[in-house]
């Protein structure tokens, strides 16, 4: 049973690395420009603080998973790993939430504040951001699955 749990954990960690790395790469490469009334309008992720936070949080989660895979093959520090998994899951959840809020404003605008949507002018940028957000949301779900898997195995260990 422990070998099955170990394989599942490794599989989920590899998925988490893939999802976070994809989110970082897609978000960092998102840029587009458009001309509006003879003015060049450039959209890139670094123009918005929430997108920068998203990239940094995803990179931290990717680095954490890589370090964990390389250093803790048979870890006796499972409590620390579980706590850090929860911290990373919350970090990913908050970064995805912030980025989705800004992406929503970019897509729909805000009529009350007079903010116009920009996705009509820079669709390539919006498509990249959408892809990065899907990958980031997937990474957050994978981390929650890792937490539930760890809690389930700890519960079975404690009560059996």
Q: What pLDDT shows up at residue 35?
A: 77
Q: What pLDDT shows up at residue 159?
A: 47
Tell me the pLDDT tens digit for each residue of 113-149: 777 777 888 888 889 999 999 999 999 999 999 998 8
Residue 152 has pLDDT above 80, yes or no: no
Give the pTM. 0.86
Say what percent of the chain tops pLDDT 90. 42
Residue 145 to residue 9: CA distance in whole angstroms:
9
Tell me the two tokens of residue 52.
């920068």
Residue 99 to residue 24: CA distance in whole angstroms:
13
Q: What pLDDT shows up at residue 87?
A: 95
Tell me the pLDDT tens digit for each residue of 9-35: 889 999 999 999 999 999 999 877 777
Strands 31-36, 39-44: pairing is antiparallel
Q: What pLDDT shows up at residue 156?
A: 57
Q: Would you place residue 160 in the very low, low, confident or very high pLDDT band (cuts 50, 70, 90)? A: very low
Residue ranges covered by each domain of the chain: 3-26+49-152
The b-or-e profile of 84-111 (16+ CB within 10 A means b, else e) is: ebbebbebbbebbebbbebbebbeebee
Segment (H or E) for 110: none
Segment (H or E) for 119: none
Tell me the two tokens of residue 132.
């990065």
């Amino acid at each position: 049973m422990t070998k099955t749990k170990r394989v599942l954990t490794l599989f989920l960690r590899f998925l988490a690395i893939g999802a976070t790395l994809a989110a970082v790469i897609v978000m960092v490469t998102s840029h587009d420009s458009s001309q509006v009334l003879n003015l060049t309008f450039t959209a890139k992720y670094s123009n918005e603080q929430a997108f920068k936070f998203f990239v940094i949080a995803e990179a931290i989660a990717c680095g954490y998973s890589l370090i964990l895979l390389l250093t803790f093959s048979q870890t006796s520090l499972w409590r620390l790993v579980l706590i850090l998994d929860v911290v990373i899951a919350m970090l990913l959840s908050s970064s995805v939430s912030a980025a989705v809020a800004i992406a929503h404003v970019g897509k729909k605008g805000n009529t009350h504040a007079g903010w116009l949507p920009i996705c009509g002018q820079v669709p390539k940028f919006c498509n990249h951001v959408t892809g990065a957000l899907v990958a980031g949301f997937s990474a957050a779900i994978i981390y929650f699955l890792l937490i539930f898997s760890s809690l389930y195995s700890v519960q079975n260990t404690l009560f059996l």
